[in-house]
């Protein structure tokens, strides 16, 4: 079924009059479109992969979880479902502007407020996805146990399974937990976006920060900051506002590398050997 037919059926399902649609940049995982309708502009993602239905359900839950905190905006989800072989998520489209120092400071402050929302354990109510890869969120009392067993080891094992790393390059769980215990003290669970690179926030025309494409769970707040720094970093205004609420503490730079390892492993498993060198260097530095 072609895209236009899917879009037309979708609009019929939601009583929308379609004026036009166009392909837009929406990431590396799904096709993305902006729909102009009688009820305004909407954003649509389509994916025919067998796991896409679960992926979009997890995305919708993550957006709702963040939205329900009332501390930072997310797009309103109109609906999720399936038309023929295409799974979809339909949501409000955000008219964007280039971020100013003021809007970036607002993003930093609001992210810190999100991180002040806590839980009794590390994890989340269900598993979700980081990109198209499964992210396991079983509740754990220990941050080191959660991060090593539910974040690093699954990605390391997947890299070996894909032939991207050798088995002997994978550090033992015990060694990695010792490192995490040494670097991470008095960690409290914070509600995380989970995948906060520069493509996963928007600044609206009104200067309002909006989070998209979350991979939410309760973890160490510095995990989100590590991701912001991985591909060039955010602005000084963002970090200054964030650190007014969460000042850096000893071991910060080592923890940032420890948490960036997860995201580099994800990129290795999604996009291939171009990320192997970065992964290998970090493993040698940390363990």
Residues with catalytic roles: 195
Q: Rounded to whole angstroms, how far apart are CA atoms 216 and 194?
A: 5
Structure tokens at 63: 């957006």
Separation CA 259–CA 263 (nearest Å): 7
Q: Residue 181: left if φ>0, alpha if ψ -120 to 50, beta else—which one? A: alpha
Phi-psi region of 218 (alpha: psi -120 to 50; beta: other; left: phi over 0): beta
Beta strands in 9-84 (DSSP E): 18-23, 31-37, 40-47, 77-83
Report which secondary-structure segment, H or E, holds 264: helix 252-271
Tokens describing residue 265? 């492993």
Reading across the β-sheet that carries 40-47, which strands appear in turn? 18-23, 31-37, 40-47, 86-92, 77-83
**How many CA atoms, within 13 angstroms, populate the side-chain half-sphere of residue 69?**
24
Cα separation of 287 and 282, whole Å? 8
């Amino acid at each position: 079924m072609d895209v236009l037919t899917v879009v037309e059926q979708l609009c019929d399902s939601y009583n929308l009059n379609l004026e036009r649609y166009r392909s837009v940049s929406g990431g590396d995982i799904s096709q993305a479109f902006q729909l102009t309708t009688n009820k305004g502009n909407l954003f649509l993602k389509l994916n025919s992969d067998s796991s896409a239905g679960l992926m979009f359900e997890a995305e919708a839950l993550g957006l709702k979880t963040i939205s329900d905190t009332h501390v930072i905006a997310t797009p309103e989800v109109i609906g999720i479902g399936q038309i023929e072989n295409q799974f979809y998520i339909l949501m409000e489209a955000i008219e964007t502007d280039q971020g100013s120092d003021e809007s970036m400071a607002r993003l930093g402050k609001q992210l810190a407020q999100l991180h002040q929302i806590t839980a009794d354990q590390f994890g989340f109510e269900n598993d979700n996805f980081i990109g198209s890869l499964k992210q396991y969120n079983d509740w754990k009392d220990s941050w080191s146990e959660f991060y090593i067993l539910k974040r690093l080891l699954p990605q390391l094992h997947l890299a070996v399974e894909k032939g991207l790393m050798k088995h002997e390059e994978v550090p033992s769980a015990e060694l990695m937990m010792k490192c995490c215990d040494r670097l991470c003290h008095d960690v409290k669970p914070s509600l995380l976006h989970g995948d906060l690179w520069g493509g996963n926030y928007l600044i609206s025309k009104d200067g309002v920060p909006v989070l998209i494409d979350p991979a939410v769970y309760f973890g160490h707040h510095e995990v989100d900051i590590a991701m912001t720094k991985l591909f060039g970093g955010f602005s000084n205004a963002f970090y200054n506002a964030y650190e007014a609420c969460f000042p850096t503490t000893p071991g910060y730079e080592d923890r940032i590398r420890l948490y960036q390892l997860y995201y580099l492993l994800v990129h290795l498993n999604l996009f291939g050997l171009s990320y192997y060198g970065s992964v290998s260097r970090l493993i040698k530095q940390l363990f």
